[in-house]
């Protein structure tokens, strides 16, 4: 069989297109896998911010708890999927305080059922007021 010169002109763009589709699919998959880590970091940094407030006052007031929920909502968290536990009464200097945030993130990967990832962030400290 003779090698025809026109075959490479036709097959090269097709191979490049298939390769680009595969690479695009892998990039999308990698981004979908990394997104929960980014959400966890946002949740963790917000938790750290509010534990500093709790250290100053000795507990998380109801007003500060509302502000925390609003802050998380502004960052894109769904309040219905968020569970908060915290020290809600005044502590004295040196007493332990805590803030625990649990968020149920729904991760959707292509060709799979949605998976629920439970993100737990807990920070413990002591009252410094």
- In the chain, beta strands by DSSP E: 82-86, 96-107, 115-126
Q: In whole angstroms, what is the distance from residue 54 CA to residue 44 CA? A: 15
pLDDT (tens digit, 9 = 90+) per residue, 5-57? 666 677 888 899 999 999 999 998 888 889 999 999 999 999 999 999 999 88
| Whether pLDDT at 75 is above 90 | yes
pLDDT at residue 16 in the model: 93
Which structure tokens are listed for 60? Answer: 């998380």
Q: What is the overall mean pLDDT for the chain?
A: 89
Please give the average per-residue pLDDT across 89-115, as a whole number: 89
Residue owning tokens 């990967």:
109
Of the pLDDT bands very low, low, confident and very high (cuts 50, 70, 90), residue 78 is: very high
pLDDT at residue 3 in the model: 61
pLDDT at residue 114 in the model: 87
| Whether pLDDT at 2 is above 60 | no
């Amino acid at each position: 069989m003779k090698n025809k010169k026109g075959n490479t002109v036709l097959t090269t763009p097709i191979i490049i297109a298939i390769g680009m589709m595969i690479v695009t699919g892998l990039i999308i998959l990698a981004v979908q896998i990394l997104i929960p880590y980014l959400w966890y970091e946002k949740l963790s940094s917000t938790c750290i911010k509010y534990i500093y407030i709790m250290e100053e006052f000795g507990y998380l007031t109801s007003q500060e708890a509302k502000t925390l929920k609003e802050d998380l909502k502004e960052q894109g968290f769904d309040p219905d999927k968020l569970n908060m536990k915290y020290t809600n009464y005044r502590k004295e200097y040196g007493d332990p305080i805590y803030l625990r945030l649990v968020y149920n993130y729904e991760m959707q990967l292509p060709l799979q059922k949605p998976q629920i990832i439970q993100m737990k962030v807990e920070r413990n400290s002591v009252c410094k007021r």
